[in-house]
Amino acid sequence: MLSISPSEIPQNLLHSHLVSSVGPRPICFASTIDAKGNPNLAPFSFFNIMGSNPPMAVFSPARSGRTGNNKDTVYNVLEVPEVVINVVTYSMVQQMSLASAEYPKGVNEFIKAGFTPVPSEKVRPFRVKESPVQMECIVLEVKHTGTGGGAGNIIICEIIQLHISEDILNADGRIDQTKIDTVGRMGANFYCRAHGAALFEQPQPGHNLGIGIDSLPASIRNSKILSGNDLGRLGNIPHLPTEADVLTYKASTTKKISNEEELHTEAKKLLEGNHVVEAWKVLLAGL
């Protein structure tokens, strides 16, 4: 494995390693305004929410690795400490990319990229009409992490108004992950789309503690067939099927499994279909 000290490699190579390994990253499409009232719109992928009580968001427009200069967004929030964070979806990713170009200060990216500005309710920067989720924020703090190219400017915001399109809500009034169609930033020129087959559900443990991989029999833990994900599924149930359940399974099945490899292969097929209890019955019946 390659072992790297950040101070011993060029900054642009370090940046490439970081953004290519930490991803996908959500995109903060930040709308700001300067003291003269000039709007600015720019995307940043060093971004996330940091709590819900109060609702907080953090993003960081890094200094240019080429020139060392700050983005207009940084100067704007220092002049007018307000921002609208607009969520980026697949239907607007090309226009968002256009808005990321380094236009001179004073150029209106809403116009350049063809977005529709909508007046906000509680802050001065405009919202992006095409975005299905718009967060009006006040800026609480701007923390500069350095002065050279690649240095961050961590902008800490409190969300004071939230706008959500009804088109992406489900029957319970919550955002439907199959409808919002967000995109994430990867390394180089790559993005990813959180939609269709790319989405999968992983039930959370909650209050029912799983038995853990350390509780699996050694023959299962050391399986050459079952992957780490498979073992994680097996270890994530609160208790094993009862002996009676296993006996009932044995009496009902007509499958004849002659060796450990076949046993683990059959269990793996069930796990791939998220039939964890059934997989355990197969494994316990063969032990």
* pLDDT tens-digit map of 160-210: 999 999 999 999 999 999 999 999 999 999 999 999 999 988 877 777 789
pLDDT of 106 reads 84
pLDDT of residue 286: 81
CATH of the domain at 164: 2.30.110.10
Q: Is residue 1 part of a domain?
A: no
Instruction: Specify whether 87 is located in the same domain as 190.
Output: yes
Closest C-alpha among 250, 221, 254, 255 to residue 235: 221
Does 20 map to a domain?
A: yes
Residues 227 and 167 in one domain: no
- Domain-terminating residue out of 141, 162, 196: 196
Q: Is residue 246 part of a domain?
A: yes
State the DSSP code for 70. Answer: P
Quote the CA–CA distance of 247 and 283 in Å, as a whole number: 12
Q: Both tokens of residue 9? A: 């490699």
pLDDT of residue 201: 85
User: What pLDDT is stored for residue 176 in this prediction?
Assistant: 97
- Residues 130, 37: contact at Cβ < 8 Å? no
What's this model's pTM, rounded to 2 decimal places? 0.89
Q: Which distant-in-sequence residues (6+ apart) come within 8 Å of 269 by Cβ? A: none
Q: Are 99 and 190 in the same domain?
A: yes
Q: Determine, yes or no, domain membership for 106.
A: yes
Residue 40's alpha-carbon distances to 79, 106, 121, 124, 201, in angstroms, are 13, 8, 18, 12, 37
Whether 279 and 152 map to the same domain: the answer is no
* Mean pLDDT within 68-79: 94
Asked whether residue 277 falls in the same domain as residue 152, the answer is: no
In this structure, are 30 and 124 located in the same domain? yes
What's the pLDDT score for residue 256?
Answer: 78
Instruction: Give yes or no: residues 155 and 276 share one domain.
Output: no
Same domain? For 128 and 237 the reply is no
- Are 11 and 138 in the same domain? yes
Domain holding 275, by residue range, is 213-286
pLDDT per position as a tens digit, 113-138: 999 999 999 999 999 999 999 999 99
- In the chain, what is the straight-line distance between the N-terminal and C-terminal CA atoms, in Å? 37
Whether residue 208 lies inside any domain: the answer is no
Q: Are residues 80 and 11 in the same domain?
A: yes
What is the number of structural domains in the chain?
A: 2
* pLDDT tens, position by position, 51-69: 999 999 999 999 988 888 8
Strand partners, 31: 41, 84
Rounded to the nearest 10°, the torsion over CA 75, 79, 80, 83 is 10
Q: What is the pLDDT of residue 252?
A: 87
150 & 23 share domain: yes
* 207 within some domain: no
Within a domain: 201:
no
Q: Residues 191, 255: one domain?
A: no
Domain assignment present for 49? yes
